[in-house]
Each structure stands twice: as C-alpha cells, then as structure tokens.
Amino acid sequence: MSETGICPLCEQQLSELLSTTDRHGRPLRTIICRGCGLVRIDPMPDSGSLNDFYSHDYRLQYKGAWHPRPKHVYRDTRGAIMRARRLLEIYRPGMKVLDIGCGGGFFLHLLRSLSIDASGLEPNRGYADFARNELGIDSIFTGTLHEYAPDNRFDIVTINHVFEHLPDPLAALARMRGLLKDDGAIIMEIPNIESTSHAPNRIFHYGHLYWYNPITIHALLQKAGFGIADMAVARGNEHINLVIRLQPETEATALGILRGMLIGNYHRVRAIRDRHTRLRHYLSRAPYRRILGKCLQYSREFLATWRARSPRAIADRVCQAAIPELRRRILTGAEAAKHKSL
Ligand SMILES: [Zn+2]
C-alpha cells in the first residue's frame, strides 16, 4: 500500500496501487482510494506542467495531429449531433451555452447553425485556431478554466470528456458554479472506471487524472454543492452522462454523510477491475464487437471524407443532414415549456 496524499473526495490517506502502466505500456502509477473507491494517477502532475501539456502536446499525443484530421472532423461532428440531442432536452430559445474544452469547435459550429448563442473554452492553441480560422467561430477563449472571466453567466455549461483531465475537480466545480446562472445546468460526460469495453491493459493514460464511477461522481458533485438531475450509463462504452444543477440549499453535503454514501464502493470498483483480466476480456464478445465496429467506422469515415474540399465542407455536410431534426426538437421543447407554464 502506498500513502501518497489525501484523497480529494473522502479526505483520507488510504490509497493502494491499481496499475503501474499506461495504455501504451509506459510507466504510470494509478491508485485507488480504499476509503471511497476514487481512482487517480499518482503523483498528480502540477498545474504548470499540465498547462504546458494541454496547450501544446495533448492533441498531438492523443490524436497524432496539431489540427483535426478529416476523419476527426467527421467523427467529432457526428458526436456533436448526439450531444446536441441531449442539450436540446433542457435548452430553451434564448439560453446561452458554454462548451468547456471545445476542441476544434464542431459542437459550437452545430449549435451556431441552430442559431444558439454558444461560446467555447479551449486550452490547445492549434485546435482553438482551427475553430476560429476554419469554422469562423469567434467566441472561443484560448486558455484554462481558471483564466476564463466572461462578462456574462451561462444557462447551460457543457463539459464532454474533459472533467477527468482536471487536476483539482472541486476547484473546477467551484469555478463552473461561478460561470453558471443560479437556475442553470451542467451537462457532463465522463468515462466510467467500471467499464470493461477496453482491454484491462489499454485503459489508463497520463491525460485522465481521475477515474469515476456513478457513486464517486455523485458524491463529488454533492460535496461541491451540486445535485444530479439526471444520470445515465451509456450502453457499450459505459460512459456516464449527467445533467447537474445547483442544490436548492447552498450547503454542500457534510463529509460524514459523504463517507457513508461511499461505504463499500472501494470493494465494488476493486472487484470489477480485478475480475476484468486480459484472459476474461479476450474470451468475451466485447473486443471482437469493438474491432468490427472500428472497421465499419473507419470505412465510413474514409468514404465520407476522401474527396472533401475542406474540413469545413465535411462539418457542414454532416450538420446540414441533422439540422431539420434538431430544429424540430427545439420547437417541441419550447412548446412543452409553454404548456407547463400555462
Ligand atoms: Zn477517498
């Protein structure tokens, strides 16, 4: 057992080694807290080296490019449509939206095509410049969440596969609280430490500083004074999708209550991770389904992009096909809200 720092969730010093390598076989210590089941990398990098990593290296290391490649433009725009469907469940005309970690700006591009007032925040200069120059999005701040100081607050803040990259999740939630109107909502998607869709040696990497399951993310949000309006675990990849709102009472949940919520969670997470051996994984259907899915995805991406004139043309074509359906969702939502208020 290693005693390396206090757990930010249960505030106990009870960590134990979970993994010693990253998904590429390079050394990376990942620990699990015996007090609550929160998983994190150890030691936690300092914010200076993380800022350098995200402003320069991250996308290059993660996607192998300074700018989104055509296949990423296509993939991310399709992902943006799925995200827009979730957003439109709570969006009402006139609301202001902020996307934290907006990458190449495909989600913003889609929202702006729907006449939604949407801004973004992206620490990586290459991707932020791409969004500005290729997609013409001028409402992007290049920098970190803590450097961002907009004039107005937002009705909806979205944070998609970004929260797990933040070194101080409670400080990040406090910052997000300051960006949000009192009746606003956060839409968050994060990976799930309970997922068995990847091989057990292909999970951890330097970018993901924390790994949550539905129980630890729930407790962390409560600790920060937020409540969960909706939580769903996606089929297949088991990602956790959340709609989060401020608690009516501004008091954050007391530590003793949180520790009570977390009893047994360490054993749950440890058992899931220990059961998911490489042998079990390759004897299951998951890896073969994944390979087949990837083959179909790569072929579709190649066919959709190989003759495209520009990244913008790819994004526009994918967006245009979805816009009539998304517009109907805005109208249906507005109608439902009108009936509710009558
Ligand atoms: Zn803990």
Distance from Cα 12 to the centre of ligand 1, integer Å: 6
| Distance (Å) from CA 147 to ligand 1 centroid | 28
Domain spanning 15-341 has what CATH number? 3.40.50.150
Residue 43 Cα, ligand 1 centroid: separation in angstroms? 15
- In three state form, how does the secondary structure of 308-322 look? CCCHHHHHHHHHHHH
Would you state the pLDDT for residue 297? 87
User: Where are the chain's structural domains?
Assistant: 15-341
| Averaged pLDDT, groups of 10, the chain, 342 residues long | 76 95 94 97 86 70 70 94 97 97 96 97 92 95 95 97 96 96 97 92 90 97 94 94 84 83 96 93 85 88 83 92 95 81 66
Q: What pLDDT score does 63 carry?
A: 57
| Residue 89, pLDDT score | 95
Alpha helices in the chain (DSSP H): 47-52, 58-63, 70-87, 106-113, 125-135, 169-179, 214-223, 255-261, 265-275, 278-283, 286-305, 311-341
Buried b (16+ CB within 10 A) or exposed e, 25-39: eeebbbbbbbbbbbb
Q: How remote is the CA of residue 34 from the centroid of ligand 1, in Å?
A: 6
What does the longest C-alpha to C-alpha distance in the chain come to? 60
Query: How far apart, in whole angstroms, are the C-alpha atoms of residue 238 and residue 232?
Result: 9
- Integer angstrom CA distances of residue 184 from 55, 154, 187: 29, 7, 10
Phi, psi of 4 (to 5 degrees): -120, 85
Amino acid at 331: L
CA of 271 to the centre of ligand 1 (A): 16
| CA–CA gap between residue 237 and residue 295 (Å, rounded) | 17
Residue 247 C-beta-side C-alpha neighbours within 13 Å: 13
Q: What is the pLDDT of residue 286?
A: 83
DSSP, collapsed to helix, strand or coil, labels residue 245 as strand
From the CA of 221, how far away is ligand 1's center (Å)?
A: 14
Element (H, E) at 32: strand 27-33
pLDDT number for residue 168: 94
> Cβ distance 323 to 330 under 8 Å?
no
User: By the 8 A CB rule, do 300 and 78 touch?
Assistant: no
pLDDT at residue 1, as a whole number: 41
Which residue's structure tokens are 């013409």?
Answer: 136
